[in-house]
Amino acid sequence: MECGKNIVILGTGGTIAGLAEHAGTGVGYRPAQLGVAELLQAVPDLQQLAGAALQAEQLAQLDSKDMDHATWLLLARRCAQLLARDDVAAIVITHGTDTLEETAWFLQCVLAPAKPVVLTCAMRPATAISADGPGNLRDAVACATDAAAQGRGVLVVAAGRVFSARQVCKVHPYRVDAFDGGEAGPLGWVEEGRVRWAAASMAAVQVQSAPQPPATALPEAESWPQVEVLLSHAGSSAAAALAQVQALCAAGVRGLVVAGTGNGTTHKALDAALDHAQAHGLAVRCTTRCAQGRIVQAQGADDSRVSALPAVKARISLMLELMGWPRTDR
């Protein structure tokens, strides 16, 4: 890391900034209580490890289960401003675990950053005996300062592993290593303040296939098109599904992601609801609710509605597409 460079740590809340009544509890705490500057103080050698000036900035203070488009817009605009500055080498974002993969994917789609943007988090509040936040923050800064992190886009560091925004997924509600990279595995591991990159990790990096508008082109959040997710499951009810889609249309929803069974199939009870969505001009994407893999189609089949992403990320890609971004869900 060159002298005179800054690493900016943006705080957004989450369990990493959470406080509990008792040090022995890992549940029942209040997330988003400590400021990001206090999080930095819990890692005494952070400055030394970074080899750059650390600047803490509180961008939001929320439980990420409540993440909203307005906060995403704030984050995207601030990141775009910082990344454009020559004196900023990298950004680290502290975030709640619940929607971390969605924020990471959103930022990847709108920033596609050449400089490292690294999200990190914690599964235990800052007051816990086994608090994992300080270690994760230390690992995230180590990753952000690693020369080989350049060009890998938005990354997530948790429990000693590095994931790309595209692959990362929260897979456990309690375990400290709550994230997984699916079939691709992690891009690397952070060990003693150094990243060991997986041999084939560069191949797993998301490359934007088409030029995209800058994050500064995002309109105010109130005008973002709303996209919702419909889940196909055993016992689906035709009447309930139709009522749900009718209500979505009436509420001005513009797009629908269908999380289908297996290889992207949907319960026959959803047929009328999906016909209604199409007749009312909603953009529809289909994906699989399976935790790994993607829909596989016969050669030559029309795949225009098929998304290769999990439903919550397909939702983001479709929302951006409706705002003029190129497709990012292939």
Query: What is the set of active-site residues?
Result: 15
- The DSSP output letter for 2 is -
As given in the structure block, the two tokens for residue 186 are 């992690």
14 binds ligand ASP (CB under 6 A): yes
187 binds ligand ASP (CB under 6 A): no
Amino acid at 176: V
Write down the least CB distance from residue 178 to ligand ASP, Å: 8
**Contact set for ligand ASP, span 74-103 (CB under 6 A):** 96-98
Name which position in 11, 26, 31, 260 contacts ligand ASP (CB under 6 A): 31
Q: Quick one: CA dihedral 139, 145, 150, 154, positive or negative? A: positive
Please answer whether residues 113 and 212 qualify as being in contact, where contact means their C-beta atoms are separated by less than 8 angstroms.
no
Task: Report the C-alpha gap between 67 and 81 in whole angstroms.
Answer: 21
Q: How many CB atoms lie within 10 A of CB 104?
A: 26
123 binds ligand ASP (CB under 6 A): yes
Please answer whether residues 313 and 105 qualify as being in contact, where contact means their C-beta atoms are separated by less than 8 angstroms.
yes
Name which position in 63, 78, 208, 276 contacts ligand ASP (CB under 6 A): 63
For ligand ASP, which is the closer residue by CB, 133 or 260? 133
The count of chain residues that interact with ligand ASP, using the rule CB under 6 A, is: 12
As given in the structure block, the two tokens for residue 85 are 């500055």
For ligand ASP, which is the closer residue by CB, 122 or 295? 122
Q: What angle (nearest 5°) sits at the alpha carbon of residue 136, between those of residues 95 and 101? A: 40
Write down the least CB distance from residue 183 to ligand ASP, Å: 24
Write down the least CB distance from residue 143 to ligand ASP, Å: 19
Candidate ranges 62-70, 136-144, 187-195, 273-281; the one touching ligand ASP (CB under 6 A): 62-70
Please answer whether residues 161 and 170 qualify as being in contact, where contact means their C-beta atoms are separated by less than 8 angstroms.
no
For ligand ASP, which is the closer residue by CB, 31 or 116? 31
For ligand ASP, which is the closer residue by CB, 105 or 325? 105
Q: Is 107 helix (H, G, I), strand (E, B) or coil?
A: helix
Helix (H) or strand (E) holding 74: helix 69-83
Task: Report the C-alpha gap between 45 and 9 in whole angstroms.
Answer: 15
Write down the least CB distance from residue 14 to ligand ASP, Å: 4
Write down the least CB distance from residue 8 to ligand ASP, Å: 21
Residue number closest to ligand ASP, CB atom: 96
For ligand ASP, which is the closer residue by CB, 120 or 201? 120
CA distances from 98 to 15, 42, 128, 196, 201 (A): 10, 23, 19, 26, 25
**Contact set for ligand ASP, span 277-306 (CB under 6 A):** none
For ligand ASP, which is the closer residue by CB, 31 or 153? 31
Q: Quick one: CA dihedral 155, 208, 314, 11, positive or negative? A: positive
Q: Which positions lie near ligand ASP, rule CB under 6 A? A: 13-15, 31, 63-65, 96-98, 121, 123
